[in-house]
Structure formats: C-alpha cells, structure tokens
Chains A and B, each alone.
Chain A
Amino acid sequence: MDIRLTALPAICALLLLTACAKPPTEQIEAAEKAIKEARESGASTYVPEEYAKIEGTLAALKKEETDQESKFSLLRDYGKVEQLAVAAKNEAEHLKTEATKKKEEAKTAALQAQQVAQEAVKTTLELVAKAPTGKDRAALESIKADVEALKASLNQVQMAIDTEDYPTAQTRAKAIHEKSHAVSQEIEAALAKTGKGKPAAAKKK
C-alpha cells in the first residue's frame, strides 16, 4: 500500500510530462525557413530533384505533425517530427549551397560566352569597315544588316543575364559568336578576292 502511494506522484508527473508533449515548432520553422532560402537561391532550377525531395520531406513532416495532433494528448510523440525537421533543415542548407554554386557556374559560363560574342561582333564590325563596298553592294548591305542584328542580339544576351536565365544567355551568346565568325569569314573571303578597293565616288541615287 505504501509502495503504491509512493509511486503515485511519480506516475502523475510522468503523465503530466507526456500530456505536455508539444510539436517542435522552432525546428519546423527553421526547416521551413531553410527550404525557402534554398528555393530563393535557385534550388528548384539548379538541383530540382533534390529540391522536390526536400519538399516531400517537409510534407511528410507536416503529415506526421497532423497525425500526432489527432492523437489523444497522452499518446502524442513528436520525436519523429523533430528528427525530420532537423534533417530537412540540414538538407535545405546543403541544397542552398549546391544551388548557389551551380547558379554561379552557370552565370560565369554565360558571362564568358557573352564576352566572347561581344569580341566576335566587334571584330566583325571592324571587318565591315574594311569590306569592299562596291563589288557587291547588295551583299555588303546584307552583311551590314546581319551585323546590326548581331549587335542587337547582344542586348538580348544581357537581358537574359539580368533575368538570371543563364542557359538562354549562354546559347544565345554562342549563336552570336558562331554567326559573327561566319560573317567575318565571308568578308575576309571578299577582301582576299578584291583587296581593299575603293568604290567610285559617292553620287546621288
């Protein structure tokens, strides 16, 4: 009888402790914040599979939390929720680092391609100035229109970089470089044939 009386407060204390089990709000919020930051750093674009999984983990965590909340208070256990929240936070932080790294790599590649394209267009413009103006005026005017189009396209590369669409910026810049190179070769071939001949004096037409 004495033993039962002695054990009673301990049992009550244990019951109270269990009844007080609360969801690990701080850890959940930390995980959500980390996932949001990962998304903002471009994880859904640069590490899409991992990002989808971490969103899955967050959903699983939320479901577990809801499941626990639906249980009788004395039987609630948020251990698994806490474990998932911690894992999600760590993974999200890792994804943020990975995405930032990949995004930076993409940006660097786009900027390099942009620079190469700018130089190629500049070279082509210099060649246009030397082009034999009289030999085939239509071809020259056509080349001039081409180079103007290439110059205008460089703005599109910049716009793509500004909107962080690095794959478009890079492919566009590479396309400009290729086309610019082709136009330069065309002019060089014409120069090789005719030399730097000057056309007849300009006249009204």
Chain B
Amino acid sequence: MSSHCPRATWAILGWGALVLAGSLSGCVEGVPQDVIEAVENIDRDLMDLRAAEFSPSEYAKFAHQWMALKARVQADEDLIRWPWEPNSLEIALRRLQEEGVHTVSRLTKERESLRRSAKDKIARVEDRIRTMTLQVSAIDSRLVLGQKPVETDLLMKQAHAFYEQGRYDRSLDASDRAAQNLATQAAVLTSELGRYANRDRISRWQQMVKETITWSRTHRTSAIVISKADRVLTLYRNGQKVLSYPVRLGFNGIREKRYQGDGATPEGRYRITSKRGRGQTQFYRALLLDYPNEDDRRRFQLAQKTGQISASRAIGGQIEIHGVENELMAQTLGCVMLDNPHMALLYDRVDKGTPVTIVGALHEQNSVALTLATLDDRREET
C-alpha cells in the first residue's frame, strides 16, 4: 500500500506538469508561425502568377484580407491566450490560407488557359496571314492592300513580344487586332476586286469578247482578247483562236485603271494605232493602243466630277502590248507585256486597226473570284 501512494502522487504531479507546460506554451504563441508562413508563401505564389495584373480584383481581395490579418497578428503578439480559448485570428488565417490555395490553383489554371489561348490565337492568325499572302500574291493584288499588311505584321510581332513577356492578355489583344486587320484586308480586296465575282460584269465582259470574235469572223481578220484574271492574250483569226500566250500586266494591273501612274491595266475595247518595230520603241516590239478612248475619258471625267479622282490627276496614255527589251523593265507600268519570241509572232500577225479587247475575266470561276470566295470562307476562322 505504501508503495502505491508515491506512484499515484507522481502520476498526478506528472499530469499536472504536462497541463502546466501546455498552458504555458498556449500563453506564449498567439498564432502558429507555420500558418503565417503558409499565407506568405501563397502571397509569393500569387505574385509569381502576376495575379495583381492578371486578376486585380482577386489579388486585391486576398491582399486586403492578408493585410487586415497581418495587422491583427502584429497586435496579437503581446496577448496572452489560454489554450481553451478559441483563437479567432488563427482560424481566420487558416481560412485565408485555404482560400488562397484555391485561388492560386484556379488562377494557375486560368493563366495557363489564357497562355494557351494566346498561343493558339497567334498560330491561327499567322496561318491565316500565310494563306492570305499566298492568295494575294497569286492574283497580284498586294498593292491593293496598301499599308495594311505591314500593320498586321507589326501587330503580330507585338503579340509575340507580349507572349514572351508573359502578358498573355496583351498578346491576345494584339492578335485580335491583327485578325481584325486581316478581315479589313479581305474586305478591301472584295471591294476593290469584287467586279471579278460580279455576274453582270462578267456577262458584259463575255459579251465584249463575243463581239470581238464575231467581228474577227465577219471581217475575216485578226482580233486580240486579253483576260486580266487569267493573264492570257489570245489571238483570233477569222473568229478562230490562233494562239494564246501568257502576259504580264502593270505593277498594279489587276485593278481598274483610273488615272496616270496607278500601274493598272485598262479594261475596254481598243484598237492598235501604231506598230513599233526595232528602233521605234524601248522594248523589243510594241503595239500602241488607243487608250484613252471615249469610254475611258467619260469615266475619268465623271470620277473627277464626283471627287473620286483628284482634279490634279491625268488620265494617262501610251498603253501598249510590248516585249521585254529593257531588262530593267521586267514589269510594266500599265501595259501588257509578252516574252520576246511570243511578241515577235504576235507582231507579225496583227495590223494597225486590229481590235484589242481587254477584260477582267472570261468566266465566273476566274482566279480572282475564287480567291475572294476563299477569303470570305476563312474570314470567320480567326
């Protein structure tokens, strides 16, 4: 019995010491350091995510709560708290930690999603630019677009730069603007070259060609038909196709000629007014046309009256079908150019007065109309 008593006493004393130690430690530590460190780590994670830029309201909410609790932590440092007292500050910090973990996780996903969107958008717009460049080049219409392709290019370079900097929203914005610019380019092409897809216009061109061929048959002589969309010159004799050669047009040849120096090749019914052989032309051979004719003058005057063409502009002239004598003139300023062997053959088969009909296209499915249709199809893709 005497041996049991000291054991019970020691046990009571032991438990008492434990309770005292627990109580004392509860008094010293207001908020466990690990909770504070955890919230600090979350703040660092949010800063690494550039949450203040990416999701300012989200970060502001976290920062406000964190600063409010931090102020309480600093004020609570000197407080003595009994272990059985609920530590509201610790509870609030743990809640903020929990919310913060969710916020970091959600923002990480959202940022990754934004990154992917920015990357995809860049790829889509660049793909669209490549296709459009090829299409525009195929129908020689780069000049129709003026400064717009460079604008698009600069925007895409900015989109890349912002992407590399991790500013995905700005990257997306730049890509969006580039895509809008592409849509504008497509609209400009459709507006400027829409006549190549216009049935009435094509019917008129077809009628002009038909009449030219009929004239050739009726008068048992030669006639030339040039299709700008196909870049082909065809010689008819007695209403029959005799030869067909590829041609190059003015540097802005696909457009409708409006004034001198615009680089466009005129459309209409002309005649050869002069044949220029060696020594009479800077080119290999040349056939001078009667541009501007009455129709051209009427159109030009109307355009000037309505302000579409400045009063200071001239109508131009000296439109020819010629060869390539001057190596530095590989592209014409508005004429129709043939390779010299073809020019030689053509030159010998036509006379002064031979009709030359230049049309935009001979059929509805011409290269320009097909390109415009493709542009329309792809406009929504970016």
Contacts and interface: CB of A to CB of B under 8 A. Distances in A.
Interface of A: 48-49, 51-57, 59-61, 63-64, 80, 83-84, 132-138, 140-142, 145-146, 148-150, 152-153, 167-168, 171-172, 174-176, 178-179, 194, 197-201, 203-205
A200 B326 contact: yes
A83 B53 CA distance: 29
Given A53-B67, A149-B147, A168-B158, A132 B142 contact: no
Contacts of B51: 49
B135 to A, nearest CB: 15
Interface residues of B, number: 61
Contact of A172 (B71, B74, B154, B167): B154
Interface string B150-169: 11011101100110010100
Given A48-B53, A59-B68, A137 B263 contact: yes
B157 A174 contact: yes
A44 to B, nearest CB: 8
Interface string B322-338: 00001111111111000
9 contacts: A48-B59, A49-B63, A59-B67, A138-B331, A142-B143, A172-B158, A175-B153, A179-B154, A201-B282
Contacts of A138: 140, 142-143, 251-252, 263, 331
Interface stretch (B5-13, B214-222, B311-319): B311-319
Counting chain A CB atoms within 10 Å of each CB, the highest count among B67, B148, B260, B263 belongs to: B67
**Those 7 A-B pairs whose CB atoms lie nearest each other, nearest first:** A56-B67, A149-B147, A134-B328, A48-B52, A175-B157, A149-B150, A137-B251
Candidate in A57, A148, A205 with the most chain B CB atoms within 10 angstroms? A205
Contacts of B170: 167-168
Contacts of A205: 250, 260-261, 263, 316-319, 332-335
Contacts of A140: 251
B167 A167 contact: yes
A171 B60 contact: no
A88 B111 CA distance: 31
A27 B69 CA distance: 21
A174 B318 contact: no
A132 B154 CA distance: 26
B22 interface: no
A179 B150 contact: yes
> Is the contact region of chain B dominated by helix, strand, or loop, or is it mixed?
helix
A179 B157 contact: yes
Interface of B: 43, 46-47, 51-53, 56, 59-60, 63-68, 70-71, 74-75, 140, 142-143, 145-151, 153-155, 157-158, 161-162, 165, 167, 170, 250-252, 260-261, 263, 282, 314, 316-319, 326-335
B329 A175 contact: no
Most central of B51, B65, B150, B153 by chain A CB within 10 Å: B150
Contacts of B335: 205
Contacts of A200: 282, 326, 328-329
B148 to A, nearest CB: 8
A57 B71 contact: yes
Determine which residue in A49, A167, A197 has the highest number of CB atoms from chain B within 10 A of its CB, and name it: A49
Contacts of A153: 150-151, 154
B63 A55 contact: yes
Contacts of B70: 60
Of the listed residues B43, B68, B70, B167, the one surrounded by the most CB atoms of chain A closer than 10 A to its CB is: B68
Nearest to B319: A205
A11 to B, nearest CB: 26
A138 B136 CA distance: 13
Contacts of B158: 168, 171-172, 175
Contacts of A179: 150, 153-154, 157
Contact of B146 (A83, A145, A178): A145
Contact of B56 (A48, A141, A199): A48
